[in-house]
């Protein structure tokens, strides 16, 4: 599928399948069309039909056939507009879990059947006193519920607004290299394995790996990083980013559904499809209201039948069921979700799992990686020396740089940059491979070398100058050692810069009573330097990737809730393990697959925005649930006549006003959601 195809498919409003509760998928048809047709049918019903038995000043009654016209329009509206809810109720009842769809179906069905009976009784049988119809309530409930579900559908479009422009970043054509000749083809024709030439100033047409040439790439529109990123052979480039002054050729590694942009769009869709626990709470509340309204209406019918007559008992029972209709409850969550998702997208927050937002209020610890998360990951060589009589210091740097050629690790980039600055001629390295949690190994001029950390040397009980290490590490440097034949040949010490926003992140976490914890594979001394500057007291250093996931479990073992913040690559296991996984920097498959929240920018302050938005969203959802359900809790027993012994029976008009007021309050409350910053 092409990116354009994905975009048009995502934006298509004819969404035939939609999750309507309890995990059931149902046929929704064109929900947008259903809403507008139903709204048009509602207008004459509102003009001619009384509201809860009371005619409003603008309503007219002089047309002798108005009741029949309302009945016809009501029937069309009931069948056409109510179809989604009938299907949803059928699915809920099949699962033995009546919820929102069942409550809506019960309300509109009772309102319709009783209203048809009212028309027949009043206009054909001429019953006195006249029987009140509920076409007004039937029409407005269908409209509001369709609007609520249309808002849910549109949420994915609102969320996608922050990434819709990403699809447009891709150029329409690409320079495909075939047998040494360059041919212009459309981007849609590219497939994995194609070789493409990218010229100076052009947009990169797809994800790929550079096979020849070198350049600098502006990835700001994709990752949020404003700086140019140096790219060379074997480096990965992302489709949609802008090439600098160099020309290079690359092999396509991802296009269409496999590309980074497509994966981000899929992430947004997945977030919309996943119902949060608050939404499920709305379903549970609706389920309880269903049983409550049904029980109260039956009890009220029997009671009033015994103390009154059949007409009065039936009228009160029907009023109870109609008043129970969840006008406000149906909008309580969708409106907040729509508003929250739009705000998140506008601030570069892609929320993959909305349940993560509701976990924020339970968080006790925020575990975070150091390099690339709290620090910029822009290492600069501060010192390098040889400890072998046969090697000069430049030889150590040269060999390490030769081994690191092709690596994009921040430490490797720092070494390569230093070698280039010292104009060292690199040599070919063979059989270069990563050693998980250690470093890398490879052959230079027939000799096997390794680049390792001090922690590895300690584990292997190999000798090195620990005094020098302490001096360099205490100054905040990461120290890498070159070794061969179990002998340390020299070292390179590099320093990193703390991101200016990191201090605000740590201070904000502490203010929210969330304890910050640093996790890093770097040496303890360097980690402590960074931690001290930021005010972090809990530090775990010299960690392997699997150690981080174990630490997350360790913190969780006493019932604590953990947020893990990392770069989404080495931290993937811990991101998945934590209650809330936040990936800073969203350029990898692992970030998308492992994290609950992906931050488009690599700004630690975005974590603060996420926490703020999560708390505000959860608070608004809870408030709206109370408003939506509170109306029913109060009016159902009053409509049943619980206060009749003291002379008070709820006027249906009052019930309708309160119903409308609660719906308006829910909508206004949702729209007031905003970030503090």
φ, ψ of residue 561 to 5 degrees: the values are -105, 135
Query: How far is Cα 273 from Cα 276, in angstroms, rounded to an integer?
Result: 9
- Residue 540 half-sphere exposure, CB side, CA atoms within 13 Å? 19
Beta bridge partners of 197: 175, 249
Q: Are 228 and 216 a contacting pair, CB within 8 Å?
A: yes
- Reply yes or no on whether 16 is catalytic: no
User: Hey, is 204 helix, strand or coil?
Assistant: coil
| Closest residue by Cα to residue 564 from 578, 551, 549, 554 | 578
Q: How far apart are CA 212 and CA 65, in angstroms?
A: 81
User: In DSSP terms, which residues pair with 480 in a beta bridge?
Assistant: 453, 492
The three-state secondary structure class of 672 is coil
d(CA 118, CA 593): 57
Please name the residue that has the structure tokens 């969320």.
159
Q: Which of 7, 194, 235, 369 is catalytic?
A: 369
CA angle 192, 197, 200 (to 5 degrees): 135
- Interatomic CA distance for residues 239 and 208, integer angstroms: 8
Please compute, for residue 404, the number of CA atoms within 13 A of its CA located in the half-sphere on the CB side: 26
Q: At what angle do helices 260-273 and 3-11 cross, to 10 degrees?
A: 20
- CA of residue 514 relative to chain centroid, distance: 22
Beta bridge partners of 212: 249
Alpha carbons 666 and 563: distance in angstroms, whole number: 31
Closest CA to 491 of 575, 381, 595: 381
d(CA 597, CA 109): 42
Four-residue CA torsion sign, 42, 47, 49, 54: positive
- Chain centre to alpha carbon of residue 511: 25
H or E element that contains 448: strand 447-453
Q: C-alpha distances in angstroms, 660 versus 140, 222, 232, 606, 625?
A: 10, 44, 63, 38, 15
Cβ count within 10 A of residue 214: 14
Neighbour-count burial of 621, counting CB atoms closer than 10 A to its CB (0-12 exposed, 13-18 middle, 19+ buried): buried
Burial of 322 (0-12, 13-18, 19+ CB in 10 A): buried
**Which of 170, 165, 179 is CA-nearest to residue 208?**
170
Please, what is the angle between helix 135-169 and helix 66-94, to 10°? 60
Strand partners, 17: 27
Catalytic positions: 369
């Amino acid at each position: 599928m092409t990116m354009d195809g994905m975009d048009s498919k995502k934006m298509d409003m004819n969404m035939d399948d939609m999750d309507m509760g309890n995990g059931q998928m149902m046929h929704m048809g064109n929900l947008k069309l259903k809403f507008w047709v139903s709204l048009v049918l509602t207008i004459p019903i509102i003009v001619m039909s009384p509201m809860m038995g009371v005619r409003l000043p603008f309503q007219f009654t002089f047309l002798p056939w108005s009741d029949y016209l309302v009945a016809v329009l009501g029937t069309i509206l009931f069948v056409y507009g109510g179809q989604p809810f009938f299907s949803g109720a059928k699915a809920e009842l099949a699962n033995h879990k009546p919820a929102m769809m069942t409550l809506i179906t019960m309300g509109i069905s009772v309102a319709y059947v009783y209203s048809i009976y009212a028309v027949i009784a009043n206009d054909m049988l001429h019953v006195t006193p006249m029987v009140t119809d509920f076409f007004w309530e039937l029409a407005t409930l269908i409209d509001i519920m369709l609007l609520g579900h249309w808002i849910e559908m549109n949420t994915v479009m609102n969320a996608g607004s922050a990434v819709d422009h990403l699809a447009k970043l891709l150029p329409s054509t690409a320079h495909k290299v075939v047998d040494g000749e360059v041919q212009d083809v459309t981007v849609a024709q590219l497939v994995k394995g194609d070789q493409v030439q990218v010229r100076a100033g052009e947009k990169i047409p797809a994800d790929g790996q550079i096979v020849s040439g070198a350049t600098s790439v502006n990835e700001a529109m994709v990752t949020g990083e404003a700086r140019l990123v140096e790219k060379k052979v074997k480096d990965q480039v992302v489709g949609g980013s802008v090439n600098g002054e160099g020309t290079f050729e690359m092999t396509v590694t991802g296009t269409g559904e496999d590309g980074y942009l497509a994966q981000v769009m899929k992430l947004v869709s997945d977030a919309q499809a996943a119902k949060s626990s608050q939404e499920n709470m709305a379903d549970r509340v609706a389920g309880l209201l269903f049983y409550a309204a049904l029980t109260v209406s039956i009890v009220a019918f029997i009671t009033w039948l015994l103390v009154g007559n059949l007409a009065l008992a039936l009228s009160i029972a029907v009023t109870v069921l109609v008043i129970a209709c969840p006008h406000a409850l149906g909008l309580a969550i969708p409106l907040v979700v729509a508003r929250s998702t739009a705000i998140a997208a506008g601030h570069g927050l892609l929320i993959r799992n909305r349940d993560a937002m509701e976990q924020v209020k339970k968080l006790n610890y925020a575990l975070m990686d150091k390099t690339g998360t709290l620090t910029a990951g822009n290492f600069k060589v501060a010192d390098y020396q040889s400890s072998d009589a046969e090697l000069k210091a430049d030889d150590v740097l040269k060999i390490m740089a030769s081994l690191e050629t092709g690596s994009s690790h921040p430490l490797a980039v720092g070494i390569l940059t230093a070698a280039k600055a010292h104009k060292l001629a690199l040599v070919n390295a063979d059989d270069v491979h990563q050693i998980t949690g250690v470093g890398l190994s490879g052959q230079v001029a027939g000799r096997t070398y390794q680049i390792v950390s001090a922690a590895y040397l300690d584990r292997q009980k190999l000798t090195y100058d620990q005094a020098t290490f302490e001096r360099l590490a205490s100054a905040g440097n990461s120290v890498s050692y070159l070794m061969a034949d179990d002998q340390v040949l020299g070292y390179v010490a590099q320093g990193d810069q703390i991101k200016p926003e990191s201090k605000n992140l740590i201070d904000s976490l502490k203010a929210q009573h969330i304890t910050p914890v640093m996790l890093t594979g770097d040496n303890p001394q360097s980690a402590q330097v960074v931690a001290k500057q930021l005010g972090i007291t809990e530090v775990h250093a010299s960690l392997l990737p699997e150690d981080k996931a174990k630490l997350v479990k360790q913190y969780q073992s006493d019932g604590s809730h953990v947020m893990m913040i990392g770069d989404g690559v080495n931290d993937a296991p811990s991101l998945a393990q934590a209650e809330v996984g936040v990936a800073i920097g969203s350029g990898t498959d692992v970030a998308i697959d492992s994290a609950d929240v992906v931050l488009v920018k690599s700004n630690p302050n975005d974590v603060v925005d996420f926490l703020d938005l999560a708390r505000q969203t959860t608070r608004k959802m809870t408030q709206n649930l109370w408003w939506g359900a509170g109306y029913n809790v109060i009016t159902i027993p009053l409509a049943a006549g619980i206060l009749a012994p003291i002379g008070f029976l709820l006027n249906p008009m009052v019930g309708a006003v309160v119903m409308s007021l609660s719906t308006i309050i829910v909508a206004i409350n949702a729209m007031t959601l905003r970030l503090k910053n």
